[in-house]
Amino acid sequence: MSATTGNAATPVNSASGTAAVLDVRSISMNFGGLRALNEVDLQVRLGEIVALIGPNGAGKTTFFNCITGIYVPTEGTVHVTPRDGRTVTVNGLKASQVTELGMSRTFQNIRLFPTMSVLENVMIGRHCRTRAGILGALLRDSRTRAEEQRIVEESYALLKSVNLHQHYKDQARNLPYGAQRRLEIARALATDPFLLCLDEPAAGMNPQETHELKELVIEIRERHQLSVLLIEHDMSMVMSLSDRIYVMEYGSKIAEGTPEEVSKNPRVIKAYLGEESHA
């Protein structure tokens, strides 16, 4: 946590020696007078599942928006190290460029393309990995047709992996809630991410669905060889899934560590008990 004393532009490698695929240094975000993020540091290493927890309004979603290019953080730096090994500074890039680098996300308040079909939603995710342009669309030459068919097949395979392939023709808005969340994950995976950011994926799911989601996240990590950054309120899911946990309150990081360390941390207990006694 004292890493900020060093040269902030050089990405750190963690103590364990594995490269950090995401290295966030001391980012802050102000909305007018409101400081939604206050000098937050966070690292995700290759293959890790990292959880970001904290009471509502702690600034978790704002953190996601800052690292994925939806917002430009007021201060601080965000570095990522895609699969090709080079390290790139992300803040200042457009959201689409961040995704193209290999960071992909889902949204807390589901943002599918509601009147497009389930398959088309996933196909949109392949956009940044394919090339066909206007001329290809107009002439529909064999290369364009082949690419289009490849997009269809890859997207369908992803739908299958989240068990939504029977619904590929339906409009996305007609899916049940839990299925919409899984579709968002499939769509995010279609961009070939090395880091998948999930914003409260289990919100609104029943215990059975939550359990399946947990299995799905583990499976995805294995199959796609990626890291996961997860915002979640369901504590059983967070505790059993995460390698490490970061805890935020009022825009600041108040704790980090393994699930055991964090669950014993007095500040975390206070933050959570405090929240419960209000509720």
Ligand X SMILES: Nc1ncnc2c1ncn2[C@@H]1O[C@H](COP(=O)(O)OP(=O)(O)O)[C@@H](O)[C@H]1O
Q: How far is the CB of 69 from ligand X (least distance, A)?
A: 14
Stretch that binds ligand X, among 14-22, 28-36, 111-119, 122-130 (CB under 6 A): 28-36
Among 44, 51, 151, 229, indicate the residue that binds other proteins (CB under 8 A). Answer: 151
- Per-residue tokens: 133: 């342009």
β-pair partners for 105: 197
Among 26, 43, 81, 144, indicate the residue that binds other proteins (CB under 8 A). Answer: 144
Q: How far is the CB of 197 from ligand X (least distance, A)?
A: 12
133 binds, among other proteins, ligand X, Mg ion, none (CB under 5 to 8 A by kind): other proteins
State the CB neighbour count (10 A cutoff) for residue 73. Answer: 23
Stretch that binds ligand X, among 58-66, 85-93, 133-141, 145-153 (CB under 6 A): 58-66
Among 19, 47, 75, 120, indicate the residue that binds other proteins (CB under 8 A). Answer: 120
Report the C-alpha gap between 174 and 155 in whole angstroms: 19
Element of type H or E holding 18: none
**Maximum Cα interatomic distance, the chain, rounded to a whole number of Å:** 65
Does position 61 bind ligand X by CB under 6 A?
A: yes
Element of type H or E holding 33: none
Nearer to other proteins, 172 or 237 (CB): 172
Report the C-alpha gap between 60 and 263 in whole angstroms: 19
Are the CB atoms for 271 and 252 separated by under 8 Å? no
Are the CB atoms for 230 and 188 separated by under 8 Å? no
Task: Classify residue 221 as exposed, middle or buried by CB count within 10 Å of its CB (0-12, 13-18, 19+).
Answer: middle
Does position 177 bind ligand X by CB under 6 A?
A: no
Orientation of helix 142-161 relative to helix 207-224, angle to 10°: 130
Among 38, 108, 117, 171, indicate the residue that binds Mg ion (CB under 5 A). Answer: 108
68 binds, among other proteins, ligand X, Mg ion, none (CB under 5 to 8 A by kind): other proteins
Are the CB atoms for 48 and 222 separated by under 8 Å? no
Ramachandran angles phi, psi of 217, nearest 5°: -60, -45
Does position 58 bind ligand X by CB under 6 A?
A: yes
Does position 180 bind ligand X by CB under 6 A?
A: no
- Per-residue tokens: 119: 């398959």
Q: State the residues that interact with ligand X by CB under 6 A.
A: 31, 34, 36, 54, 56-62
Q: State the residues that interact with other proteins by CB under 8 A.
A: 68-70, 94-97, 99-100, 104-105, 107, 111-117, 119-120, 123-125, 127-130, 132-134, 136-138, 140, 144-145, 147-149, 151-153, 156-157, 165-166, 168-169, 174, 187-188, 190-191
